[in-house]
Amino acid sequence: MNVAVLAGGSFAIPLLDAIADSEHRLAGVVSRPDRPHGRGRIATPSPAALWAMAGEWPLLRPIRVSVPSFEPEFRALGADVAVVADFGEILKPFVFAWTRHGFFGLHPSLLPRWRGAAPIPWTILSGDGMTGVSVFKISASVDTGHVALSETIPVCDRETGATLAHRLAKTGAVVMLEALRHLQTGSLTLTPQPPGDAPVARKLRRLDGMLRWETDAFALDRVVRALVPWPCAWCQCHGREVKVLRSFPLSAKSEYSPGTVVGATVVEGEGEGVRIACGSGELVLLELQSPGKLPLPALVWLRGARLAVGDVLPGAGFGESKGESP
């Protein structure tokens, strides 16, 4: 079959590789226009667009797909089916008639759980033990179409948003190829999603990464792991926002107020870090990054920031006071 792929982010790259190497013909890639990226806000193609350009595949980059004027350009690709992965646009129903077999989405969750824009971080934030990928036929409502195939995988211990996305992307590519094989032979079965309310993975905001020290340490650690690589967890120090890139939770009861620098410690398999008192337990900070700087081990960073045992990081309504070095 001729397959068009609508893709934007890096999650779609294993899928693009798989279709390009399969018995199907990659009719073309539809991606977004260049967007500002990085500190210099330089206009940069999407990862999917870069992939297509590197392989000299047909590439379309409309401002929006869901406009009638784009139909002739899309139909010129000659696609029998369209596959959508990490694209970032909610398609209008009239688009679905542009291919013989319609449009199929690859979603990184077990639908109907975690419909929406950010299923991977919400999986970790919620402490889910299992997740997976779903191939579904796209319908008018977001992520509600009939499911063709799904595959379950465990959420590993110490999983981050980045590592889980990588594993789901590879699994999703295999599952989508299987769905396309069934579609080609006429053996694809579509199953309606169960009725009723389902958790929605809303788009993340920068504020979601703020570490509120009065919270449980294990919940804060999930924030740190889930929000890698974006928007990243962060805390305040001396009036500046500092990214927390790695952490580890401790269940030990702390006698200090939330946000207090308790002291240095070594976490087996993780390295040295600094214990911060939380509402329940303590969070060991392992790696931090100041704005415009390289990531640093937490002990090195905190000493450079002139923080000491007894100081209190803002975020829980406390001030700061000087003490001894960790």
Q: Is pLDDT at 172 greater than 80 in this prediction?
A: yes
Residue 92 and residue 71 in contact, taking contact as beta carbons nearer than 8 Å: no
Q: Which two tokens stand for residue 170?
A: 């590879």
Residue 133 and residue 169 in contact, taking contact as beta carbons nearer than 8 Å: no
Q: Is 177 helix (H, G, I), strand (E, B) or coil?
A: helix
Chain Cα centroid distance, residue 79 = 29
**Quick count: other Cβ atoms within 10 Å of Cβ 139?**
17
For residue 223, what pLDDT is reported? 98
For residue 239, what pLDDT is reported? 86
Q: What are phi and psi of 12, to 5 degrees?
A: -85, -10
Question: Which of 215, 217, 203, 225 minimizes the C-alpha distance to 125?
Answer: 225
Q: How far is 15 from 8, CA to CA, in rounded Å? A: 12
Q: Where would I find the H helices in the chain?
A: 13-20, 47-54, 71-75, 119-125, 161-185, 217-226, 298-304
Give the mean model confidence (pLDDT) for residues 184-198.
95
Give the mean model confidence (pLDDT) for residues 158-174.
98
Q: How far is 169 from 152, CA to CA, in rounded Å? A: 13
Residue 314 and residue 242 in contact, taking contact as beta carbons nearer than 8 Å: no
Give the mean model confidence (pLDDT) for residues 104-109.
98
Give me the DSSP letters along 108-139: SS-TTTTEES-HHHHHHHTT-SEEEEEEEE--
Domains of the chain listed by start with CATH number: 2-201 (3.40.50.170), 206-304 (3.10.25.10)
Q: Which of 22-31, 128-137, 253-262 has the lowest mean pLDDT?
A: 253-262
Relative to beta strand 115-116, strand 200-201 is parallel
Q: Is pLDDT at 103 greater than 70 in this prediction?
A: yes
Give the mean model confidence (pLDDT) for residues 72-92.
97
Residue 107 and residue 119 in contact, taking contact as beta carbons nearer than 8 Å: yes
Q: What are phi and psi of 48, to 5 degrees?
A: -65, -40
Bridge partners (DSSP) listed for residue 282:
250, 277
pLDDT band of 326, cuts 50, 70, 90 = very low
Rg over alpha carbons for the chain, rounded to the nearest Å, is: 23
Residue 140 and residue 93 in contact, taking contact as beta carbons nearer than 8 Å: yes
For residue 317, what pLDDT is reported? 36
182: left (phi over 0), alpha (psi -120 to 50) or beta: alpha
Q: Is pLDDT at 105 greater than 70 in this prediction?
A: yes
pLDDT band of 319, cuts 50, 70, 90 = very low
For residue 208, what pLDDT is reported? 95
For residue 41, what pLDDT is reported? 82
Taking all residues of the chain, what is their mean pLDDT, rounded to a whole number? 94
Chain Cα centroid distance, residue 179 = 23
Question: Which of 6, 114, 128 minimizes the C-alpha distance to 62?
Answer: 6
Q: Is pLDDT at 324 greater than 50 in this prediction?
A: no
Residue showing tokens 């990490």: 86
pLDDT band of 318, cuts 50, 70, 90 = very low
Q: Is pLDDT at 229 greater than 50 in this prediction?
A: yes
Q: What are phi and psi of 276, to 5 degrees?
A: -120, 130
Query: Which residues 6+ apart lie within 8 Å of 39 measured at CB?
Result: 292
Q: Is pLDDT at 293 greater than 80 in this prediction?
A: yes
For residue 315, what pLDDT is reported? 64
pTM of the model: 0.93
